[in-house]
Amino acid sequence: MEKLATMALFADFYGPLLTEKQRNVWDLHYQQDLSLAEIAELEHISRQAIHDLLKRTERILEEYEQKLGLVHRFWKEREKLAEVRSLMRGLTEKDFSSHEAWERHCQIGVRIEDIFDI
């Protein structure tokens, strides 16, 4: 997975554990795409201080993931769900003993698709 995408997931999962300043600078740089100089001007600190804060925040997020593994578990569960979705898509109404069973299968499929659309 691309590093930026990985960091975005780490921030999604562990962002609430960061300080307000870390979250704010992270958001300005990675979500709002502001340069280090623009953030430094907004925060009234040096560009180097912003750079250091972002690197420290990145290390903190990586440490949280090493300790808690939430993003890793998220991807593993997503892979399992994708496999279930694939298996379900292979079924047809003829595979079921009743129309009601087919309808339940279809409802489960809709729920699974909803999860992937989130």
21: CATH: 1.10.10.10
Same domain membership, residue 81 and residue 55: no
The reply to whether 78 and 24 lie within a common domain is no
Pick the last residue of a domain from 68, 84, 102: 68
What pLDDT score was predicted for residue 51?
97
User: What residue numbers bound the domain in which 8 lies?
Assistant: 3-68
Does 80 lie in the same domain as 63?
A: no
Dihedral of the CA atoms 56, 30, 5, 19 (nearest 10)?
A: 40
Rounded mean pLDDT, 55-67: 96
Same-domain status, 56 and 92: no
Question: What's the average model confidence in pLDDT over 3-26?
Answer: 93
pTM above 0.85, yes or no: no
Angle, vertex CA 21, rays to CA 15 and CA 26, nearest 5: 55
| pLDDT confidence band for 117 (50 / 70 / 90) | confident
pLDDT value, residue 2: 87
The pLDDT confidence band at residue 116, using thresholds 50, 70 and 90, is confident
| Domain tally, the chain | 2
